[in-house]
Amino acid sequence: MSLRVAVQMDPLESINIAGDSTFALMMSAQGRGHRLWHYTADALSYREGRVVARARPVTVQRVAGDHHSFGDWCELDLAEDADVVLMRQDPPFDMAYITATHLLELLRGRTLVVNDPASVRNAPEKLFVLDFADLMPATLITRSLEETRAFHAAHGEIVVKPLYGNAGSAVFHVGRDDKNLAALTELFGEVWREPFMVQRFLPDVAQGDKRIVLVDGEPTGAINRLPKTGEIRSNLAAGGSAQATDLTPREQEICARLGPELRRRGLIFVGIDVIAGHLTEINVTSPTGIMAIDRFNGTDTPARIWDAVERRLLQNM
């Protein structure tokens, strides 16, 4: 099956091919004989019933500094000229991101979008996880200083983070005797209009924050991300390091709970974060980590993802 694949992502020139999951997906697709086009989210348009993108055909190769070659610009009709759209641009999950999901949703029944854009829109990382509150650490979502103070008093140590942040940005650890809670709450209220998330601090984060990848609802591998000295953030983008790991029975239970819902929503490629047996996030916008997982485990996660995509297409024929 040779597919026409449009990849909606950030500029190819800026990626780090050693760890970029989208690049790995593109390499795998090309190896299967699929044809690739690249465009950025701001090149997406709606015109008279058609969803189009100003795009370029692209070939990729694993050569640092010379990893892609573009063809001529063209207008790609995403319903007529593409079989699959990979929606892989990084957050912020803002109104521009949401608008892109609405436009791509118009392709339903004609072109497969991965992940399903309506489900991405309705499942932001730190809100979708609330559907599984019994798997989470104690959590508060609020804009209220009084609510935050009460939560802090109840749990002693807490973590405060923006509701729509990513890559570990603006994540704060507030200790038992920390005097900065009022100022921090005020700062969050000035920078973001949305509520923020407060969670009970899990000291075992020092032992790692596990990223588990699920493909069409099935776990395919994991890495344990360790924070660097003096940090609580274990995100690789924030300086964390990765180590090999296996799934514990508790983590297998979490995956079994999530799997059917992920499949139902058309969320083919998902990364979940688990600390000490607690589910903290469900990443559906542009999950990462597959290259590190495959390096440690000798697996081929991009192949698993394309197998799942091809199965979906055959089911829809």
Q: Which residues are catalytic?
A: 126, 161, 211, 225, 233, 273, 281, 283
**Residue in the block written with tokens 């509701």:** 163
**End-to-end Cα spacing for the chain:** 13
Tokens of 244: 């090999």
Which secondary structure element, helix H or strand E, spans residue 44, and what is its range? Answer: strand 44-47
Residues 116/128, Cβ–Cβ less than 8 Å: no
Query: What sign results for the dihedral spanned by CA atoms 105, 265, 127, 115?
Result: negative
User: Do the Cβ atoms of 52 and 85 come closer than 8 Å?
Assistant: no
Q: What residue type is assigned to position 67 of the chain?
A: H
- Give the orientation angle of helix 301-316 with respect to helix 290-297, to 10 degrees: 120
Strands 112-114 and 84-87: parallel
CB 238 within 8 A of CB 168: yes
Identity at 185, one-letter amino acid code: T
Q: Which residues have a Cβ under 8 Å from the Cβ of 203 and sit 6 or more positions away?
A: 157
